[in-house]
Amino acid sequence: MPKVRARDLIEQFQLQLVSGEEGVNRPIQTSDLSRPGIEMAGFFTYYPAERVQLLGKTELTFFHTLSPEQKAERMNALCTPTTPCIIVTRGQEVPEELIAASRETDVPILQSSLKTTRLSSRLTNYLESKLAPTTAIHGVLVDIYGVGVLIMGSSGVGKSETALELVKRGHRLVADDSVEIRQEDDDTLVGSSPELIEHLLEIRGLGIINVMTLFGAGAVRNHKRISLVINLELWDQKKNYDRLGLDEEKMKIIDTEVTRITLPVRPGRNLAVIIEVAAMNFRLKRMGVNAAQQFSERLMSAIEMSNQD
């Protein structure tokens, strides 16, 4: 099933359907828009027919200078079997030639009262959000001091229990068990919960709890940008874990790299507090304060002074 159809634009932006009702289920495959000004002049060699077409005041003012034959020719060329829809902006009257061409190919002709630039901006934001690449990851997403932290790890390692403790400490749950992630920009990942398990948390031995009901609306969020990944793994005595934090590990989700920290799990470690501190330390690093780097510089300075003595 297509992610976005012409029908969705009608409902989202309160557009008026003028013609082409049979084509309202046409899929929209790209967030790019087209203002076919050069096409109005007759140049269709590189016409991007798969895009949503916007006819503003500039395009229609030029259109009205054409001869009746040219008007019919241009509108017939504009309406193709792959054109998802054509939107006439500013509440302008839809040309009869466009309605006639629409009836031949079932291209939906829509009308909007918004200015072309404003509608173009809103359409682009909407389509980029809906058509963004998506994936689903097993984990828990929590908003900690404004940092979206994705907690990952094998089943039973304690992800949900840690999230529950974080919620009790005043942080906000976004998703448990399955995190739906969409890439809204080259470096922006936004996580949310599937509708079926929204606001729910599964605790082994206790069952499923509703976080919003127990802790209030302030304990949940619908979506959050993912900035940090915490990977929980059972403590391995033979493995050397990072003790300074100088090296920053990265994890690739879709096409975006995110900072990842591996935390070993064993009895007695307060994971919620450690993850909370990791989020605060991450914020400090982004503000230019790197404790590990400062310690390394002080250590190197002390060694140099020792060698001089």
Q: Which residues define the annotated binding site for ATP?
A: 153-160
CA distance 137 to 175: 11
286 catalytically annotated? no
Cite the DSSP H helix spans in the chain: 6-13, 37-40, 57-63, 68-78, 96-105, 116-130, 159-168, 211-215, 271-286, 291-308
Given the residues 177, 225, 260, 285, select the one marked as catalytic.
177
Among 132, 40, 125, 144, which residue's Cα sits nearest to residue 86?
40
Q: Which residues are annotated as a binding site?
A: 153-160, 202
Given the residues 64, 238, 239, 243, select the one marked as catalytic.
243
CA distance 28 to 127: 9
CA distance 244 to 231: 17
Given the residues 57, 118, 138, 286, select the one marked as catalytic.
138
Q: Which residues pair with 150 in a beta bridge?
A: 141, 229
243 catalytically annotated? yes
What DSSP line would sit under 284-297, residue for residue?
A: HHHTT--HHHHHHH
List of residues 6+ apart from 118 with CB closer than 8 A:
none
177 catalytically annotated? yes
Q: Which secondary-structure segment (H or E) carries 253?
A: strand 249-253
Given the residues 26, 159, 199, 221, select the one marked as catalytic.
159
Q: Which residues are annotated as a binding site for Mg(2+)?
A: 160, 202
65 with 40: CB under 8 angstroms?
A: no
Catalytically active residues are: 138, 159, 177, 243
